[in-house]
Copies of this chain bind each other. A is one copy, B any other.
Amino acid sequence: MSKVHRPSVARDVAKLAGVSQSAVSRAFTPGASISAKTREKVLKAAKQLTYRPNIVARSLITRRSRIIGVSMTRLDQFNPHLLEVLNVRLRAHGYGTMIFVIDPTHDADLVLDDALQRQVDGFILASTRPSAAFVKECNSVGIPVILLNRYSDERTIHSVTGDDIGGSRAIARFLMEGGHKSYAFIAGQSDSSTSKRREAGYTEELGRHGVKDVMKVTGDYTWEGACIAARELLSKPDRPDAIFCASDYMALAALEVARHEFSLSIPEDLSIVGFGDVVAAAWPSYSLTTYSNPVDRLVDEIVRILIDIFSKGGQKGGKHEQAIVSGQLVVRESARIPAPARETGTGA
């Protein structure tokens, strides 16, 4: 890169501010011990000289890149608001966010290898399943790996999820209170732990109340997949009058098919419920009843786990957390509302 002027270095700033070079370094280190007055002097001099500490050079000394890798298969199905909140919160702790979008038909480890070359301090994996070998390697070098909205029974990895089972039970109860006759479930990808847990909570709760037959089709978490699944269900002679979809995105698609292809009234002819409470769920054309996955608290948990590990010098062996963040039933207009309980939150 052609440098037209020599960039200022810490020495220049220390000289102008009349402090030590170590004070300059501490002024730019989040959490370092330095008086407010000294810090102010340094920042003023730094501004005057347009000095910026070289985080890259520092990372070679501290062995901390201060970068968190965030990986997902599809960004538009990932909650962009969550990525935004995560980015702002991580920055407040001095961490940058590097994203790694993974083609679901390719080997996730190839992309994650790229992230390791970049010496990320931690990984957040959404809709990505790393190999056991990869997880083992991260653990051996002390890099924490957190699955987001994906649950792992192997206790070699952290996970932060919404309340898949509790939420799905609440949805089942709400639908039963609405007096439906026939229940269906549109599942996500077949290997999705999240979809399996949502299905389990739903069918178990229905089963506890005597509803044993639940139709199930797979929508693959995609718009098109959910449309095909909805068509299959609604073409049946004994079509369901209540459909729970493993994601809001699939519920929106199912709603479109029901309304525009089968001319069904929602919720008079058919109740549709999602999971997540994405932004579009609140748009009047959908007004989707759903169970929320609260973004702020999911991010709180992720940041808490990471910062806790970093403060201890990295992931050291044993403890891996399985954090579950509870949400709430968000009652809108896409599902029949039980007569005696016409307010948001009841039935949860």
Contact = CB atoms under 8 A, between A and B. Distances in A.
B88 A81 contact: no
Interface in A93-122: 96-101, 103, 111, 113-114, 116-119, 121
Given A4-B142, A87-B101, A117 B75 contact: no
Contacts of A285: 256, 259-260, 285-286
B64 A75 contact: no
A259 to B, nearest CB: 8
A312 B144 CA distance: 38
Interface string A79-93: 011011001100100
Contacts of A117: 52-55
Most chain B beta-carbon contacts within 10 A, residue among A7, A75, A97, A260: A75
Nearest to A86: B101
A339 interface: no
A141 B78 contact: no
Interface stretch (A17-25, A156-164, A173-181, A276-284): A276-284
A260 to B, nearest CB: 5
A316 interface: yes
Nearest to A94: B114
Given A52-B116, A117-B55, A118-B56, A75 B67 contact: no
Task: Assign chain A's interface to a size class.
Answer: 35 or more
A65 interface: yes
A169 B119 CA distance: 49
A80 B88 contact: no
A100 B114 CA distance: 20
Given A1-B142, A101-B88, A314-B1, A65 B75 contact: no
For A57, A81, A114, A285, the residue with the greatest tally of chain B CB atoms inside 10 Å of its CB is A285
A37 interface: no
Given A4-B142, A65-B56, A114-B91, A84 B96 contact: no
B80 A84 contact: no
Contacts of A54: 117, 119
Contacts of A52: 113, 116-117
Given A3-B142, A7-B141, A113-B52, A87 B99 contact: yes
Interface string A258-284: 011000000000000000000110011
Nearest to A261: B284
A190 interface: no
A252 interface: yes
Contact of A137 (B50, B78, B97, B284): B50
A128 B301 CA distance: 29
A1 B138 CA distance: 12
A81 B75 contact: yes
A176 B118 CA distance: 54
Contacts of A32: none
A1 B64 contact: yes
Nearest to A137: B50
The 9 closest A-B pairs by CB, nearest first: A1-B314, A75-B84, A285-B285, A75-B80, A76-B80, A260-B284, A87-B101, A1-B142, A52-B117
Given A53-B117, A54-B117, A83-B99, 9 more contacts: A5-B140, A50-B137, A55-B117, A67-B98, A84-B101, A98-B99, A252-B283, A256-B284, A285-B285
